Amino acid sequence: MTALGLVALASPTASAAVGCRVDYTVTNQWQGGFQANVKVTNLGDPVSGWALKFTMPDAGQKVVQGWSATWSQTGSAVTVTGADWNRTLATGATADMGFVGSTTGANPKPSAFALNGVTCTGATGEPSPDPTDPPGPTDPPGPTDPPATGTPVAVNGQLRVCGVRLCNQYDRPIQLRGMSTHGIQWFDQCYNGASLDALAKDWKSDLFRVAMYVQENGYETDPARFTSRVNSLVDMAEARGMYAMIDFHTLTPGDPNYNLSRAKTFFASVAARNADKKNVIYEIANEPNGVSWAAIKTYAEQVIPVIRAADPDAVIIVGTRGWSSLGVSDGSSESEIIANPVNATNIMYAFHFYAASHKDNYRATLSRAASKLPLFVTEFGTVSATGGGAMDRASSTAWLDLLDQLGIGYANWTFSDANEGSAALKPGTCRGSDYSSSGVLTESGAFIKSRVSTPDSFPTS
């Protein structure tokens, strides 16, 4: 990271700051484009309402899309203003954001930034007289959040949607990373005390997604038994400090309205039973397919009030058109959702991908949509869309790097020993007690564990 000097016009509604720091990092480059992260730290007085300004040093550099703030560009001048959920910066607080840019040639880093008229030198006090002169190695670093200790739920508490991000109890954006079950009607033996201990302690998973199929010998065959099993898995995740995503796994038929009555019954029950828990997220329709966005929206606007009646605070995730591809797999795009969003608050939209099948055009859609819609990758695989075949390591890496850069949470398909490429565990693993060692992990499992188990660094202030 590079701490840069800063110059800008003051915001008339903002409090004055007396010190700040900017870390500007180019995280990815390709021919004709790049992606950058920008982190501003307030080292002075609290700021209520902020504007960050900087100048693109090359005339060919343009902001294409940004996230976690409002971005605009006139000529070479870029202005970034805080969103509703991060417009206030306490002393020592940071705002993390980023953008995708286009470039016609060289890609030099901006050399002048400004926060509400104050030159940021990485230190408190008077601004540097030369805003193009970056601080030297002896300049003090900006403050960082204290290291978070405890389980994901203990640190983050009740979640909510703020702007286009998932935020914790401190109103700071976070990314949850974890695993999805396979269908619990087929692989229930994989989900026990030993496997969830491994997931929480060895994998360091933040999230456990419970995939409860509705058809395919699932919920419709015995609603009471499946509801009870889902609740028990929520409890097991809670006991280990993981978030539990209750997935109403509709797949065939693809119109979620076919299961509207079942959804209302199921979610009324689990929401009432789990309303006091802080670790529950509701996913109300796994992969709508062969159906319009208007029909999906109608379904969501009937199911969400049922959950809200019992559990007014939990985050709810809405499936999207084309197997939760934001419509891309149907030849559409995120624009139909942006133009006609679900009439509800504290919701996110699902996005699914399988790395060997879904590549640049899907990644481009996700990048565009991330600045407009709150997104959660509730399911993805490292293989083809069939769930089988060889792992595509390059595409999987590109996907997870992008999700990390955008701060989008994800759950991998699957934490199971199914005889298919997407499974994290080798066949027969669930008959034993080892769910973590190299001997029981598939190629996909070893790769995903290496990504999920890296430190979370959840912000706490």
Catalytic (active-site) positions: 287, 379
Please name which of 227, 281, 288, 282 lies closest in space to residue 257, comparing C-alpha atoms: 288
**What sign has the CA pseudo-torsion 428, 176, 240, 231?**
negative
Residues paired with 48 in a beta bridge = 88
Give CA–CA dist 47/16, Å, rounded. 7
Give CA–CA dist 162/68, Å, rounded. 9
CB 379 within 8 A of CB 209: yes
Give CA–CA dist 437/439, Å, rounded. 5
CB 128 within 8 A of CB 121: yes
Residues across the chain: 461
CB 233 within 8 A of CB 195: no
Residues paired with 180 in a beta bridge = 209, 413
Please name which of 273, 246, 240, 230 lies closest in space to residue 154, comparing C-alpha atoms: 240
Give CA–CA dist 205/449, Å, rounded. 9
H-only helix segments in 340-414 = 360-369, 393-406
Give CA–CA dist 130/109, Å, rounded. 17
* Tokens (6 digits) for 141: 């670093």
Q: 138-142: list long-range contacts, CB under 8 Å, 24+ apart.
A: 139/3, 141/3, 141/21, 142/3, 142/21, 142/23, 142/41, 142/43, 142/92, 142/94
Residues paired with 26 in a beta bridge = 36
For 20-71, the DSSP string reads EEEEEEEEEEETTEEEEEEEEEE-SS-EES-EEEEE-SSTT-EEEEEESSEE
CB atoms within 10 A of CB 454: 11
Peptide bond into 305 cis (omega under 30): no
Computed on alpha carbons and rounded to an integer, the radius of gyration of the chain in Å comes to 23
CB 5 within 8 A of CB 128: yes
